[in-house]
């Protein structure tokens, strides 16, 4: 590269003032953008995991008249399936002396809460709180539901069962709270409660209320269509997102809207670099005229000015990404601290999730910043052509 370009660019980069301000601004813009991407993607993946492991599984198999559920052999699919559990579920109105709420009653067997599901939820059981001698059927409700109904372990709640057969009528049953669970996402927890599988079958006798809940193996979590193809015909098979269409569509829409908003912020930041370049030309008009007087071409002047602003933009972007990653990778303690401050709005979000870095989205907004900055800076530097040595004499 031409020595003049290197020297002139270094001189302006090291000069305190607008270029330093540009670097700081770009860094402060990129840091929260990266942090926001990490937070939104990690939280959405965490919520997705809660729905999969606690509510619907990756896949649900229901009989369609050709095969019975007892004919399904999960062992024949090897690593495709992590677990297969029979589940009976239905809806009910749960009420205590102080309140009511709608819940989905989910009947599960002893092996339902395997290692992966236990990683998503924590339990407080009757044994841990002194046990119970009641003969009523046990039920496990969420902490959110317990708070709404103002009940605890050992207390009784009534269930008004919504029949799965149109010929049946509503009927109440009395249950004892044997445990309280908490997954960290109250919006889902408040909809779920768990009972023994055989008891659930007495509450919901229709065959349509019972299904097999499948968890895919680690290698097939993103290849559910391959699992469905391997199972073949004979069952009605549905994915988790088909049971939670509104939730899934909200996730997709939210991801798109968040990325669009962040891209708009990046566009504004990129055009700010153009204003910095334009102001730099105004401040250095006399220096530019002198360099042209001693023989520097317009291309050299533009190249050196561009290198100054673009280098600062790139360095600010890298520093902002690093700062955003530093904050994003430590979101757990930060969110825990904010939650301890009593912020009510945080109750609508999942705060306990594994951190996921969305490298593709970060690369996209970084590329947009660099491309738009490149174009806008080049346009702003077009004014250097109008700066001629004659200005030195006209301004005297």
Q: Phi/psi at 90 (nearest 5 deg)? A: -170, 175
List helix spans (H) across the chain: 3-14, 18-50, 115-118, 143-149, 186-189, 197-203, 224-231, 240-243, 245-283, 285-293, 298-328, 331-340, 359-380, 390-394
Same domain, 214 and 321: no
* Domain final residue pick, 198, 232, 266: 232
Please check whether residues 106 and 222 belong to one and the same domain. yes
Query: For the residues 220-235, what does the mean pLDDT come to?
Result: 87
Q: Quick one: pLDDT band at residue 151, thresholds 50, 70, 90? A: very high
Q: How many whole angstroms separate alpha carbon 78 and alpha carbon 324?
A: 41
Is 330 a member of any domain? yes
| 296 C-beta neighbours (distance < 10 Å), count | 17
Residue 56 located in a structural domain: no
> Residue 303 pLDDT more than 80?
no
Is 180 within a domain?
Answer: yes
- Which of 170, 205, 232 is the C-terminal boundary of a domain? 232
Of 4-18, 97-111, 208-222, 377-391, the least confident: 4-18
The better pLDDT of the pair 295, 67 is held by 67
Residue at token pair 């559990």: 85
Decide if 75 is inside a domain.
Answer: yes
Domain annotation covers residue 282: yes
The verdict on 116 and 228 lying in the same domain is yes
Of the residues 232, 263, 295, the one at which a domain ends: 232
pLDDT of 103 higher than 50: yes
For 41: left if phi > 0, alpha if psi spans -120 to 50, otherwise beta; the answer is alpha
Three-state SS for 145-182 is HHHHHCCCCCCEEEEEECCCCCCCCCEEEEEEEEEEEE
- Whole-Å CA distances, 351 to 46, 258, 336, 355: 9, 18, 7, 11
182 and 269 share a domain?
Answer: no
Neighbours of 150 (CB within 10 A): 11
* pLDDT band at residue 342 under the 50/70/90 scheme: low
pLDDT over 80 at 236, yes or no? yes
C-alpha span between 234 and 160 (Å, rounded) = 34
User: Beta-carbon neighbour count of residue 278 at 10 Å?
Assistant: 18
| 99 vs 233, higher pLDDT | 99
Which pLDDT does position 311 carry in this prediction? 82
Q: pLDDT value at position 333?
A: 74
Q: Is the pLDDT of residue 112 over 90?
A: yes
Tell me if 25 is assigned to some domain: yes
- What pLDDT score was predicted for residue 48? 86
Does residue 255 fall inside a structural domain?
Answer: yes
Domain containing residue 313: 3-48+249-394
Mean pLDDT of 141-154: 92
Whether 237 is covered by a domain: the verdict is no
Average pLDDT score over the chain: 80
Q: What is the pLDDT of residue 129?
A: 45
In a shared domain, residues 140 and 258: no
Are 28 and 73 within one domain? no
In this structure, of 10-24, 162-176, 202-216, 303-317, the range with the lowest mean pLDDT score is 10-24
Question: pLDDT at residue 347 above 60?
Answer: no
What's the average model confidence in pLDDT over 311-340?
A: 82
Are both 221 and 300 inside the same structural domain? no
Coil/strand/helix, residue 84: strand
Could you give the number of structural domains in the chain? 2
Range scoring the smallest mean pLDDT among 197-211, 286-300, 312-326: 286-300
Structure tokens that stand for 266 in this block: 């990046």
């Amino acid at each position: 590269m031409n020595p003049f370009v290197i020297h002139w660019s270094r001189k302006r980069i090291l000069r305190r003032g607008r270029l330093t301000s540009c670097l700081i601004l770009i860094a402060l813009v990129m840091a929260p953008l990266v942090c926001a991407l990490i937070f939104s993607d990690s939280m959405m993946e965490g919520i997705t995991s809660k729905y999969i492991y606690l509510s619907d599984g990756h896949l649900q198999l229901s009989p369609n008249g050709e095969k019975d559920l007892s004919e399904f052999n999960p062992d024949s699919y090897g690593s495709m399936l992590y677990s297969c559990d029979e589940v009976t579920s239905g809806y009910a109105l749960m009420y205590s002396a102080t309140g009511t709420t709608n819940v989905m009653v989910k009947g599960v067997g002893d092996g339902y809460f395997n290692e992966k599901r236990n990683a998503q939820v924590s339990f407080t059981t009757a044994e841990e709180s002194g046990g119970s001698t009641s003969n009523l059927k046990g039920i496990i409700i969420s902490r959110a539901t317990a708070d709404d109904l103002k009940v605890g372990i050992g207390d009784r709640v009534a269930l008004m069962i919504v029949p799965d057969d149109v010929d049946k009528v509503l009927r109440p049953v009395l249950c004892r709270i044997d445990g309280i669970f908490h997954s960290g996402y109250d919006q889902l927890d408040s909809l779920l409660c768990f009972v023994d599988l055989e008891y659930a079958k007495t509450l919901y006798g229709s065959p349509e209320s019972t299904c097999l809940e499948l968890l895919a193996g680690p290698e097939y979590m993103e290849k559910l269509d391959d699992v469905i193809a391997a199972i073949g015909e004979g069952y009605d098979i549905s994915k988790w997102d088909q049971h939670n269409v509104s939730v899934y569509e909200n996730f997709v829409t939210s991801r798109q809207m968040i990325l669009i908003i962040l891209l708009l912020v990046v566009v504004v930041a990129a055009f700010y670099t153009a204003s910095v370049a334009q102001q730099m030309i105004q401040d250095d008009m006399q220096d530019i005229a002198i360099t042209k007087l001693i023989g520097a071409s317009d291309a050299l002047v533009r190249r050196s000015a561009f290198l100054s602003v673009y280098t600062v933009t790139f360095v600010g972007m890298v520093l902002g990404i690093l700062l955003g990653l530093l904050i994003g990778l430590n979101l757990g303690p930060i969110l825990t601290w904010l939650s301890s401050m009593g912020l009510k709005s945080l109750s609508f979000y999942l705060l306990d999730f594994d951190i996921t870095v969305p490298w593709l989205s970060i690369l996209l907004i970084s590329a947009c910043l660099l491309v738009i900055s490149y174009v806008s800076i080049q346009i702003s530097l077009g004014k250097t052509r109008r700066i001629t040595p004659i200005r030195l004499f006209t301004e005297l």
